[in-house]
Copies of this chain bind each other. A is one copy, B any other.
């Protein structure tokens, strides 16, 4: 089976390898030509323009987008939709906002092109060796592409949820949970670090990965991280975020849900971006005003 693959970043490239290993004929395109050459050397056909990719695929075409969420997706759609035909299928495997995916579905549908929104979890290794896929789109067409999902995911690792947008919505919530779990783990180690005991964190994460209630992939990764550096000495505690956690909190606000753990996980990430805060200055100044408490001064 033939599949077009647009976007050969960390995730896309590894997905390409995964597809090739499952004997797909992959036609690959990326704005960076060296990424295309790299996947060609692994067995893919290369395309150096979107139009070339479309022309190389026989119809009905299946094209998988693995590009950064936002404008990049719209740029590709702008280029590719006019070239596609009724019955072709577009799959957005990136981290798009589910509302964008719903809008894009309708844009594609006008051309007779079917659009699937696919949340992809499992990180880079998952993309390579077996991902976790949450899928939204049209139920009547899904069976024709179901084998792809079955091939590139781990066993039981895909779920067709139904409504358009439901795949990316599910991925957004997944990431919200992920933020909460990571912050929970991190707070636990913060407390260990301040404890009167002298723990070997790698061994802590290891024992918690074997038989405990909190065992899981994140704990295994924690073990791996501590195996590399026992106290993460070289790493700064700056916690970046890439959008889905924020969307999850915004969604909580929109549906009037109380989701303090997800919200605070995100806000602690924001806090970590700052060396000092204006809020802190205000509290320090107020303590001085009413209680005469000393403030710490910048030199």
Contacts and interface: CB of A to CB of B under 8 A. Distances in A.
Contacts of A206: 156, 159
Chain A interface SS verdict (over half): helix
Given A188-B173, A191-B252, A255-B195, A280 B290 contact: no
A245 to B, nearest CB: 9
B191 A132 contact: no
Interface string A246-290: 101111110111111111111111111111111111111111111
B240 A287 contact: yes
Interface stretch (A34-42, A67-75, A79-87, A118-126): A118-126
A289 B279 CA distance: 29
A279 to B, nearest CB: 4
A239 interface: yes
Interface string A164-189: 01100110011011111111111111
B166 A124 contact: no
A162 B193 CA distance: 15
Interface size class of A (residues with CB under 8 A): 35 or more
A290 B254 CA distance: 26
Given A162-B197, A197-B163, A157 B240 contact: no
Nearest to A256: B270
A96 to B, nearest CB: 15
A237 to B, nearest CB: 2
Contacts of A48: none
Nearest to A242: B293
Contact of A298 (B10, B130, B234): B234
Interface of A: 10, 121-126, 130-134, 136, 153-159, 161-163, 165-166, 169-170, 173-174, 176-200, 203-204, 206-219, 221-222, 224-225, 229, 232-240, 242, 246, 248-253, 255-293, 295-298
